[in-house]
Homo-oligomer: A and B are copies of this chain.
Amino acid sequence: MTRAGANLTLTTSRALVLDFVRSAGPISRVELATLTGLTPATMTNVMRQLLTDGLVVEVGRDLSTGGKPRVLLDINPTARFAVGIQLGADSLTYVVTNLGGAIVGRLRTRGAEDSPPVAVISRMAGRAKQLIEDLGIDGQAVIGVGLAAPGSMDLDKGVLLAPPTLGQWSEYPLRDELEAAIGLPVLLDNDGTTSAVGEFWGGDVPDASTMCAVYLGAGIGAGILIGGTVFRGASSNVGELGQMWMTAPHSGAAPDTLERVAGPAGVAAAVRRALDAGAESSLELGGTDPIADFTLIATAALLGDPVAVAAITHSAQDLAEAVLIAANLFDLDFVVLAGPSVAIAGSMYVEIVQKRLDEGFFAKRRHGIEVRLSTHATDAAAVGAAALVLQHQLAPRSFGS
């Protein structure tokens, strides 16, 4: 609980500059100096370090404005790489990203399901190392592994706590075991949080924004970023949108949590009820796997099937209510929707959530609030996990104690 009173700036100037280079594309030293508030002299020194480390490269020169033209600098994307792994019961997603947060390699395998953790861990380590090798990446350039998981967790210990779909993993020393198996630093975090970081690091999110990334998978979680810094609350179990009790204003149904009402299983169940009641629809659900059913429904919704459209619309409206509440509590100005559930009919979700916020957002007299689809949709959590590693190692940020 001790706070670093000293040499906080040591790493921070580098981090600050690197972050601006990353986000502001090719940029000159002069501009960086004014943006960061550092003097040109300091800029020279900091930049020299970044250049010798290979993190930044000169990429050309600007037009002259009457004197010596500015040298443009940009991130050297291939200087470092990070691995992102998303752990799920139904699937494991592996991603390798470069320094810019762009995907350079990708792999999806069957999930953790009922396999014992030990086996899954060694499988993960093997697959990740294989992927790096296949891509022809120098192992030295890989700085770490990010691991995204759903539900509640203890980040200090690096363990999951009673994950609903990964029962065996509760309290299992996930992070430490993977670290040992793979020989790289491992960072565990929530899928909502990693999605948010991924969007910030890779996308064009304004640096000063207060953003929320909603991850819609089997569950519904959210990560919050304040000016690019992860908001962690008391124990990093932040953004539990899915646990919110809804009374589904339009459906008239009994109160239930957002996750159960608006998640894939809830949508599938609603459609099944409608079909059983004889609704007109071309849909035929398998009935065994709610995720597969949801995919069918989302696709049908895009094609205009009325039952599917109604189900997706209701799901999005429920989500919109929850997001509105979060927006009013956090005073957000940016919302990103991510995860497999918005991979197909994401545009419908975005439109409905945006509309609700435009109507009901409390601070709308002060500023707008933009809703956007994640640039990585299904892979958002894995890509974000990799970005989390990049941010943590190269541009560490924190606030609070």
Listed in ascending order, the chain A residues whose CB lies under 8 Å from chain B are 1-6, 8-9, 12-13, 16, 34-38, 42, 152, 154, 161-162, 207-210, 222, 226-227, 229, 231-241, 243-245, 247, 249, 255, 321, 325-326, 328-333, 360, 362-363, 365-367, 399-401
Contacts and interface: CB of A to CB of B under 8 A. Distances in A.
Contact of A233 (B229, B236, B330): B330
Contact of A400 (B227, B235, B367): B227
A247 B321 CA distance: 12
B208 A400 contact: yes
Nearest to A2: B37
Contacts of A401: 207-208, 227
A146 to B, nearest CB: 20
Nearest to A226: B400
Given A37-B2, A152-B365, A245 B161 contact: no
Nearest to A227: B400
29 contacts: A1-B207, A2-B37, A3-B16, A5-B16, A5-B42, A6-B37, A6-B38, A8-B9, A152-B366, A161-B365, A207-B401, A208-B401, A209-B234, A210-B400, A222-B329, A229-B400, A234-B331, A236-B331, A237-B331, A237-B366, A238-B329, A238-B330, A238-B331, A240-B363, A243-B360, A243-B362, A244-B325, A244-B328, A245-B249
A5 B365 contact: no
A130 B227 CA distance: 43
Nearest to A43: B5
Contacts of A209: 234
Given A9-B6, A161-B366, A399 B226 contact: yes
Nearest to A154: B366
A2 B208 CA distance: 10
A363 B329 contact: no
Contacts of A399: 226-227, 229, 399-400
Q: Copies per complex?
A: 2
Contacts of A238: 329-331
Contacts of A333: 234-235
Contact of A12 (B5, B12, B366): B5
Given A3-B36, A6-B38, A161-B366, 12 more contacts: A1-B35, A5-B13, A8-B8, A152-B363, A208-B400, A210-B400, A237-B362, A238-B330, A240-B331, A244-B325, A245-B321, A325-B329
A330 B232 CA distance: 8
A321 B366 CA distance: 27
A235 B10 CA distance: 30
A64 to B, nearest CB: 25
Contacts of A330: 233, 238, 329
A328 B9 contact: no
A227 B4 CA distance: 15
A50 to B, nearest CB: 14
Given A5-B36, A210-B233, A329 B247 contact: no
B5 A38 contact: yes
Nearest to A232: B331
Contacts of A37: 2-6
Residue from the set A6, A8, A161, A332 with the largest chain B CB neighbour count within 10 Å: A6
Contacts of A42: 5-6
A362 B152 CA distance: 8
A359 to B, nearest CB: 12
Contacts of A241: 329
Contacts of A229: 399-400
A363 B154 CA distance: 10
Nearest to A399: B399
B208 A1 contact: yes
Contact of A367 (B234, B244, B321): B234
Nearest 7 pairs of A and B residues by beta carbon: A233-B331, A399-B399, A227-B400, A237-B363, A247-B247, A234-B333, A240-B328
